[in-house]
Structure 1
Amino acid sequence: MGRRRAETGAAEAVSTPRRKAHRENEPVGRHFRPRAKAPLWLRITTIAVTAVLVLGVGAAGALVFKLQNNVTTAPLNAGVKNGDSGQPENADTGALQILILGTDTRDGANSQYGSEEDSTGEGNSDVMLLMDISADNSHVSVTSFPRDLIVPIPDCKPAAGGDPVAGTPAGQLNAALRVGPGCTVAAINDMTGLTIDHFMLADFTAVKELSNALGGVEVCVDHAMYDDDGSWLKLPAGKSLVQGEQALAFVRTRHAFGDSSDLARIKAQQYFLGSMVRKVKSEGTLTNLPKLYNLADVVTKNLTIDEGLANIPSMISIANRLAKIDLANVAFVTVPYEAYVADNARVQLKEPEAGQYFAALRQGTSLTGAPATASPSAAAASGTPSDTATVAPTTEAPVYDKAIQQVSVTNASAVVGRSIELLQALSTAGFTGAWQAGDVPSVNETQVLYGADMGDVAADVAALFKIPATAVKSDPTITGVSVVVGTDWASGTAFGAVVVPPDIVASTADDSAGCLTVNPLKYYPTPFVQ
């Protein structure tokens, strides 16, 4: 620096004519170079680029602000007992569950679809879809729950505030939305043993606007049809592009397809979603910022979402994760069900298949054959032989009569009917006096508890189910042996085993073959007039 200052000082001492001569002729010394003036085009370009950058940052901020202001939010989990948020700290990693709800409310902009009496409150859930993104982004499952499914409904805090609303041990799942979307989240959490991270609640307008934003969704039916029972859906045989009112009619119709049941409507909704996913992926919407913004604008205007999802980075993070997943690994599933014992017009979970399926979801099991990387917590829950000490089976005949031993099974797995197959296994093994102690609030860990002088019986019961020795514990308050089934063992008779029910996948997002079967009562005579 000192030398550079000295040279500068010497230069200043030169007279003005001398300095001019230096500029006109070769410079004196190699440290002195003439300062070239930037060309006009470069200066203009630099100013323009700078302006664009400033405007771009400002516009991006304005767009984010606009999207943020579009959002309507509600609490994620309204359950009185288990109302914690459960949302992930980082939406980029870990398994992620998003509950997608469609409401049949006729409130506000939906008033054209019903009477004034209908136009109040949250309504019921017309659509209930649980999207599960695996921790390693290798696969997605989309689980449909029938609207007529009878399950326990927990006590819930209303979204609008006020006193908690009492639940019921046997309520229709779609009615939980009347208390608020957070109550549906709480009910499905209790049912599945999962912890849902986010929810999205859409009304009729959302379906129309989203289909318009995508430029229509392709569907196919095997016969020209017209549904005159409320949806007014009219389609020619073969392929059609539906959007707006037609798209809404397609996902709403309950009478147009199959056997005219709600379960046939679920199949049509899965078909529509699969086609929509294919279109979004094929057009690169999830990685195209202008398209993604347009879609986000429509979504945020027409959905109610939880507070944790009400920010643009979370939405972009989820879009980025979905963009990486192969369509063949996006599986559509209807939760295993059977006729409800008290009313054949409704359905209940079919066990043990439903419990097995929920356990597979919790363990991050792929339903389509793609490899899945289990999280540390899932690996621990699975109780694999490599890291879990198990009780050695008894090699000698027991010195007690199995048939008279007091062995009970307490269901704390959050899976309805979980005790049934375990009682059957106990009976087959000789513990014919075993009984069901009932359902209790869920616990995370399975245990075998035993009272005085029952350690050997407890060890044999644990060995039967391959329950780790660390889970066998003395409890002076227990008479006999009590098997407490936790959420870490939601299916099967071998602890830690994950069993996927056969043929559980109804379709995948890349399954574009075939057309929906039209209910013959809704056939439309040909030639078809649009």
Structure 2
Amino acid sequence: MTGEGNECGDGTGGAGGRRRRLKLAVLTLVGVLVLGAGGAGWAFWRLNGNIRSVDIDGALGDDRPARLRSSSEPSASAAAPPPPSGALNILVLGSDSRSGEENAELGGGDEGAGARSDTAMVVHVDEGRTGATVVSIPRDTLVTRPPCPLESGGSTAVAYNAMFNSAYAVGGPVCAVKTVESMTNVRMDHYIEIDFSGFAKVVDALGGVTVTTDEDIDDDDSHLTLEAGTHRLDGEQALAFARTRHGIGDGSDLGRIGLQQKLVKALLDQIASTDLLTDPTRLYEVADAITGSLTTDTGLDSLSELTNLGESLQGLSPDDTRTVMMPVTTAPYDRNRVVAEEPEAGELWESLK
């Protein structure tokens, strides 16, 4: 089985309409992130304090792929630095957290069972920030998991033919980043993680999200049942939609990736169509949900840094944004797992350098 690339967007309203929706979404995101800066100081303090961070750079040191040569971040000494414009790679994870009552109620499982990265996407933004490629990595991909540093000291052991999502389970965000960099030889400039309960809260704060499915869905594991057609989903249903795999296609992770990419576009459209900028109360609710669900690297762990990133993406065109899946094929020693298909996978990662 091979992952094929496909362009983002369904053509509704034409290229101009899609470009307008994406720009509205980015502007709304910027408004969400700077909410407190223009209003009460306590709001800014609250939202800024919501964001959790992990020092990825400090943990991994210099034993990593080289930074993108085109990367050009603004000087910290500049009085009013312009938004960055260099090429950028961001690892975005959706975590199957096994801790916390809210996450458990949404399918996270028992607190003592650890955590997994249920969704993984590498977002590559081109030089000039006018185009992007979003690469989904199937969680069932078998990889060589490198030794990863642990907070308690020491490191995990190297593991061969390990499932990709086990990296997060054994070593958290640091090991997830190191594993992606090891398998791609591409440096991740930033890391963003959103958890189960946080994702559901964001969708609910937006008033739900509208999706269309081409086939019936009936998945006992995600507890989602939908007839083929268009549906308005609340946060819990949207989360189930993103996690569904057994109720569609051949039941593999590849079908779930298609649903996840469809959901990302639907959320983008929902943000663009929700007039948050004229509704401060609703804007704060969305901002609180977004920041409260995020874990980032230390380079994105403040409202000002996230705002700077959001502003730099205002010129991003959906016509130049594509969503693809890492090319994979069935593992020769396990029909239920996949491995990177070469040379296609290597060529894809090379194009992101």
Fold equivalence (TM over 0.5): yes
How has the CA–CA distance of structure 1 residues 195 and 122 changed in structure 2, closer, same or farther, with 3 Å as cutoff? farther
Aligned AA (1:82) = D
1:68 counterpart residue number: 48
**Equivalent of 1:127 in 100, 119, 124:** 119
Q: Deviations over 1:128-157 (max 9, x none)?
A: 011111121211111100101112212111
Structure 2: tracts of 5 or more residues without a match: 1-35, 75-82
- Report deviation, 1:89: 4.0
Please give the residue correspondences for 1:33-44 in structure 2 after superposition, counting only pairs within 5 Å.
none
1:112 partnered with 2:93: no
2:243 counterpart residue number: 252
How has the CA–CA distance of structure 1 residues 289 and 161 changed in structure 2, closer, same or farther, with 3 Å as cutoff? farther
Aligned AA (2:214) = D
2:333 counterpart residue number: 342
**Equivalent of 1:138 in 130, 136, 148:** 130
2:218 counterpart residue number: 226
Contact 1:254 1:262 in 2 (8 A): yes
TM-score, normalised to structure 1's length?
Answer: 0.53
How has the CA–CA distance of structure 1 residues 121 and 196 changed in structure 2, closer, same or farther, with 3 Å as cutoff? farther
Percent identical: 34
1:100 counterpart residue number: 92
Aligned residues between the structures: 303
Contact 1:79 1:183 in 2 (8 A): no
How has the CA–CA distance of structure 1 residues 326 and 154 changed in structure 2, closer, same or farther, with 3 Å as cutoff? same
How has the CA–CA distance of structure 1 residues 81 and 325 changed in structure 2, closer, same or farther, with 3 Å as cutoff? closer
CA distance in 1 between counterparts of 2:223 and 2:138 reads 22
1:263 partnered with 2:244: no
Please give the residue correspondences for 1:369-388 in structure 2 after superposition, counting only pairs within 5 Å.
none
CA distance in 2 between counterparts of 1:139 and 1:115 reads 35
Tell me the secondary structure at the aligned position of residue 250 of structure 1: helix
CA distance in 2 between counterparts of 1:324 and 1:149 reads 34
2:63 counterpart residue number: 82
Aligned AA (2:240) = A
**Equivalent of 1:189 in 159, 165, 181:** 181
Please give the residue correspondences for 1:322-471 in structure 2 after superposition, counting only pairs within 5 Å.
322-362=313-353
TM-score, normalised to structure 2's length?
Answer: 0.77
- Report deviation, 1:215: 1.8
How has the CA–CA distance of structure 1 residues 284 and 355 changed in structure 2, closer, same or farther, with 3 Å as cutoff? farther
**Equivalent of 2:271 in 268, 274, 280:** 280
Contact 2:64 2:187 in 1 (8 A): no
**Equivalent of 1:202 in 184, 188, 194:** 194
CA distance in 1 between counterparts of 2:299 and 2:177 reads 14
Q: Deviations over 1:148-190 (max 9, x none)?
A: 11122121112x3322112224322110002111111111112
Contact 1:106 1:113 in 2 (8 A): no
- Report deviation, 1:225: 4.1
Contact 1:137 1:325 in 2 (8 A): yes
CA distance in 2 between counterparts of 1:237 and 1:88 reads 46
Aligned AA (2:293) = N
CA distance in 2 between counterparts of 1:169 and 1:237 reads 40
How has the CA–CA distance of structure 1 residues 85 and 212 changed in structure 2, closer, same or farther, with 3 Å as cutoff? farther
Structure 1: tracts of 5 or more residues without a match: 1-55, 363-530
**Equivalent of 1:212 in 204, 223, 226:** 204
How has the CA–CA distance of structure 1 residues 302 and 95 changed in structure 2, closer, same or farther, with 3 Å as cutoff? same
CA distance in 1 between counterparts of 2:324 and 2:279 reads 31
Answer 1 or 2: higher relative contact order, Cα 8 Å, separation at least 6.
2
CA distance in 2 between counterparts of 1:333 and 1:297 reads 31
CA distance in 2 between counterparts of 1:324 and 1:283 reads 20
Question: When you count helix as a share of all residues, which structure comes out higher?
Answer: 2
The structure with the largest alpha-carbon Rg is 1
CA distance in 2 between counterparts of 1:73 and 1:320 reads 21
Aligned AA (2:291) = T
Q: CA RMSD in A?
A: 2.7
